[in-house]
Amino acid sequence: MNTNPAIIVEKLNVSFGDSHVVKDLSFSVASGESYGIVGESGSGKSTVLRVLAGLNREWGGDVTILGSKQPKVRDKAFYRAVQMVFQDPYGSLHPKKTVDDTLAEPLAIHGIEDAEARIERAMKDVGLPNSFRFRFPHQLSGGQRQRVAIARALVLEPRILLLDEPTSALDVSIQAEVLNLLQALRKERNLTYILVSHDLAVVAHMCERLLVMQFGRGVEEMTAETLAARSPQTAYAQQLLVASEGFRRQTA
Amino acid sequence: MTEQTSSGWTAWLITDSPVSRRQARLGQYYRQWLAFRRNPAAVIGLTIVVLLLLAAAFAPLLAPYDPLAQALDKRLLPPSAINWFGTDSLGRDIFSRVVYGSRVTLVIVLLVVITVGPIGLLIGAAAGYLGGWVDRVLMRITDVFLAFPRLVLALAFVAALGPGLENAVIAIAFTAWPPYARVARAETLIIRNQDYISAVRLQGASQWRIVLRHVVPMCLPSLIVRSTLDMAGIILTAAGLGFLGLGAQPPIPEWGAMISAGREQIFDQWWVATFPGLAICVVALGFNLLGDGLRDVMDAR
Amino acid sequence: MRAPDSPTEQPLLELDNLRVNFHTATGIVRAVRGLSFTLGRERLGIVGESGSGKSMTGRAILDLIPHPGEVQADKLVYRGQNLLTMDKGSRRKLRGRHISMVMQDPKFSLNPVKTVGEQIAEAYRVHHKASSREAKERSLTMLEAVQIREPARVYDLYPHEVSGGMGQRVMIAMMLIAEPDILIADEPTSALDVTVQLQVLKILDDLVTSRGMGLIFISHDLHLVQSFCDRVIVMYGGKAMETLPAAELADESARAHRHPYTLGLLDCLPDLDHRKDKLATLKRDPAWLA
Ligand SMILES: Nc1ncnc2c1ncn2[C@@H]1O[C@H](COP(=O)(O)OP(=O)(O)OP(=O)(O)O)[C@@H](O)[C@H]1O
Ligand SMILES: Nc1ncnc2c1ncn2[C@@H]1O[C@H](COP(=O)(O)OP(=O)(O)OP(=O)(O)O)[C@@H](O)[C@H]1O
Ligand SMILES: [Mg+2]
Ligand SMILES: [Mg+2]
């Protein structure tokens, strides 16, 4: 495993109008590592991923990906190295395009020759049988859609995958399948992941280290072992752990 | 959990696992057709429109007489076995003129739709997707056009360009595009923020590629529906211009102009104005029903 | 614990042999196949995998089944009123005011060209006579109640400008503002972080205990349902596999009595205390649907 960081974020700041949603955020992710981000809803987790992916163009600070400093507007080559899987598998596939269209599009954009072989391989990688190739999204279940979204991200053979709550819209049985798939792919290809989730058990299962965010700031960075041992330092992280035990009714 | 028995072609079409792009597309069309077929009003609309197409295509075979042939000895004859719809003040057979009139109507409708649809779609999608000053400028122009009643604006154009069929088409096209641009823009505003558009941006697609290949296909159904519903309006506007003598010029058999010619005898020789009027109503109704049916199958998400 | 429903009290909702069928071009899809339950002033959980008919059950109660679908039932009674024979207009009046539903996909259910605040205020004014000022104030209070920071700012955001979790809370605020008797919450908290999730559940919980609201809580989060609900229905393929007291869901000693499907779902979950390389996946048995 290469110890050169794949992603370095330094003093990242993002504002929308008057609201400052990410404040002085810094972290780094080693190549081949899986890094979790958890935290309060609205604390800017998705925003951070969108900045890293180049979807958001108004931010300040330094973002270094695979050794090069990133400008606000990325070039085409960037997208071959970094891809993202969105939170909502129901909204992230074009309703009028078949699985085949969806997977062929990135290859067409980048003028890649062996499209046929790549599409077949991407589908095989995510465990979609060939009979799904010409289906429309409405003919797929949530888990199958998320597989297509993952396949679309993989078809350009990126080195970094940004995963925004990839399983929160899925039921537990499909969640297990998708998580197993992501684990296997990472091992096989030495991919680097950033995984946003609010399920601490999922983060502990998938990641080596994680960052806890609140109000747009990084509150605490810890290892998965610390999390599993329930021994984080900060009060907010403790609170998250307690909350993840489930609902407690104050009995009178 | 689907219970059914089907074989051969239908099975090939509705299979859940098509094996080629073509099969997937055809299958989707077939499903839409099945859904469309369940709506009787839509089927009636489609039938009317198909009949209109057939009438226009086979006018020479269907019409018993030359629509332009005058026979001054046979003026203003009531409907009979010889002249089904009667004759007009120049002794021309009204049935033949109504049949040939379908060609004029179709030409107007098609020309307008072919020009207006893509223009409205592109303007709306570009304004909606690009936003900023492009949006503001394009939409102000659209608003100006929208502020006038269509017939009045068309009248102004024809008055400036001079009467005639081509000018009527141009005038109607000029006045018909703004609603399309509005619809396309409204749809685009919703579509541009969807994750599947972010996903193509994330693959490095250019803005034109996104608009043309990803935004436009999503706007298309509602525009097709809108233009079918609009055809009724276009036909009426064309007829209105014809009625005022600003559309197709005599002796071309245009339904609006035919009504206009018959309006003086409406009480004594009712058939002169009534049959072209009926034709306009039926065709307008047909397009409307068809549009409603299409909306049900195409807009379903 | 809470006082159980007094036996004389009539249940809020009685449902017997509910069926939802979709007559599609390619055949009949049976989304719900004979579901029965009664709802008191309690928290009733519905769990089950995707496509098991959870949402369709909720929609059927509200008469919101989309087009080719059709609802049949032997009994569907809301506080003594037979919903099956009721006309569409009266059903619509019940909807929102007396029985409400938080839809699964908040961003899909919100109007993308209106600010979220306007939409909440509108929901309030549909059911209450109120000036627009008053409606706005109520809406801001509601946003605050669902733990949204800076409600005044969020009021003016469009749906695509709010985060996933904010969208869900906006939906909840919109549904609660009319103070319904029955709330059907379809995965209301799946995009919320755990602390906010608990705060939102606390609001729902208070409504059940203090106002006597009936809550149907649809979720795939088994831990949450187990700790939050009173009873749970486990659904698969449109049928109830079993109905059990929620607390027994994770009771290790009761495993032997559990339906294999329920156990299968439980085993899929990653566990903070027992980390493993590979998660178990569910094996389905066609005999469950026989
Ligand atoms: N386009 C936008 N315009 C205005 N504000 C925005 C926009 N996008 C995001 N925000 C704001 O930025 C903040 C952070 O949003 P973000 O989606 O990053 O949160 P998150 O941590 O992913 O939350 P969740 O867990 O609920 O998805 C929110 O307050 C949100 O309202
Ligand atoms: N318009 C439709 N036409 C045909 N079948 C449909 C339609 N809508 C829903 N269904 C079917 O109804 C079944 C139940 O759907 P439902 O939305 O209730 O599932 P769910 O349990 O809520 O799943 P999820 O956890 O994914 O939300 C599914 O198998 C689905 O395929
Ligand atoms: Mg988010
Ligand atoms: Mg559902």
Q: Which residue has the higher pLDDT, B62 or A71?
A: A71
Chain B residue numbers touching A86 (CB-CB < 8 A): 195, 198-199
Confidence bin at C8 (pLDDT 50/70/90):
low
Distance CA(B100)–CA(C121), nearest Å, equals 57
Is residue C264 assigned to a domain?
yes
Give percent above pLDDT 70 in chain B: 97
Q: Which residue has the higher pLDDT, C215 or B12?
A: C215
* CB-nearest partner of B17 from A74, A109, A135: A135
Q: What CATH number is attached to the domain comprising A130?
A: 3.40.50.300
User: Measured between CB atoms, does A200 come within 8 Å of chain C?
Assistant: yes
* CB-nearest partner of B2 from C29, C67, C237: C29
Distance CA(C105)–CA(C85), nearest Å, equals 30
Q: Do B21 and A152 touch (CB under 8 A)?
A: no
Query: What's the DSSP call for residue A118?
Result: H
Is residue A249 assigned to a domain?
no
pLDDT tens digit sequence for B64-85? 888 777 777 877 777 887 777 8
Domains of chain B: 35-298 (1.10.3720.10)
Q: Which residue has the higher pLDDT, B285 or C50?
A: B285
In which region does residue B87 sit, left (phi positive, over 0), alpha (psi from -120 to 50) or beta (all else)? beta
Query: What's the DSSP call for residue A247?
Result: -
Is residue A55 assigned to a domain?
yes
Q: How many distinct helices (H) and strands (E) make up chain A? A: 9, 10
Q: Which residue has the higher pLDDT, A90 or B41?
A: B41
Q: Cα–Cα–Cα angle for A93, A95, A96, nearest 5°?
A: 120
Q: Do residues A84 and A162 make contact, with C-beta atoms less than 8 angstroms apart?
A: yes
Predicted confidence (pLDDT) at residue A156 exceeds the cutoff of 70: yes
From the CA of B191, how many Å to the nearest CA of chain C? Answer: 10
C163 alpha carbon – ligand 1 mean position (Å): 4
Nearest CA in chain B to A101: B21
Task: Read off the pTM.
Answer: 0.80
C228 alpha carbon – ligand 2 mean position (Å): 25
For residue A104, the model assigns a pLDDT of 93
C89 alpha carbon – ligand 4 mean position (Å): 26
Q: What CATH number is attached to the domain comprising C179?
A: 3.40.50.300
In this structure, which residue's CA is closest to atom 3 in ligand 1? Answer: C161
**Average predicted confidence (pLDDT) for chain B:** 83
User: Measured between CB atoms, does B2 come within 8 Å of chain A?
Assistant: no
Predicted confidence (pLDDT) at residue A2 exceeds the cutoff of 60: no
ipTM of model: 0.84
Is residue A153 assigned to a domain?
yes
Is residue C155 assigned to a domain?
yes
pLDDT tens digit sequence for C66-106? 877 899 999 999 998 999 999 988 888 888 889 999 887 77
Domain count, chain A: 1
In this structure, which residue's CA is closest to atom 11 in ligand 2? Answer: C31
Distance CA(C133)–CA(B105), nearest Å, equals 53
Predicted confidence (pLDDT) at residue A170 exceeds the cutoff of 50: yes
pLDDT tens digit sequence for C257-279? 889 999 988 888 888 887 788 88
C287 alpha carbon – ligand 2 mean position (Å): 21
Most confident of A24-28, C207-211, C285-289: A24-28
Is residue C6 assigned to a domain?
no
Distance CA(C157)–CA(C166), nearest Å, equals 11
Distance CA(C136)–CA(C119), nearest Å, equals 10
pLDDT tens digit sequence for B224-234? 888 888 887 88
Is residue A204 assigned to a domain?
yes
Is residue C221 assigned to a domain?
yes
Pocket test for ligand 1, best of C158, C162, C193 (most atoms within 8 A of CB): C162
- Which of these, A233, A240, A158, A250, lies nearest to A204 by C-alpha position? A240
Distance CA(B247)–CA(A137), nearest Å, equals 48
Distance CA(B95)–CA(B86), nearest Å, equals 7
Burial code (b: 16+ CB inside 10 Å, e: under 16) for C30-64 equals: bbbbebebbbbbbbbbbbbbbbbbbbbbbbbbbbb
Q: Do residues B50 and B33 make contact, with C-beta atoms less than 8 angstroms apart?
A: no
Predicted confidence (pLDDT) at residue A250 exceeds the cutoff of 70: no
Cis status, amide bond into B251, omega within 30 of 0: yes
For residue C225, the model assigns a pLDDT of 92
Give percent above pLDDT 70 in chain C: 96
Q: Summarize the confidence of residues B155-183 as an average pLDDT.
A: 85
Is residue A32 assigned to a domain?
yes
Is residue A250 assigned to a domain?
no
Domain that holds residue C23: 13-289
Q: Summarize the confidence of residues A221-231 as an average pLDDT.
A: 92
Nearest ligand to the C-alpha of residue C148? 1
Domain that holds residue A213: 5-243
CA distances from C40 to A2, A249, C61, C282 (A): 59, 19, 15, 32
Q: Do residues C118 and C112 make contact, with C-beta atoms less than 8 angstroms apart?
A: no
**Average predicted confidence (pLDDT) for chain C:** 87
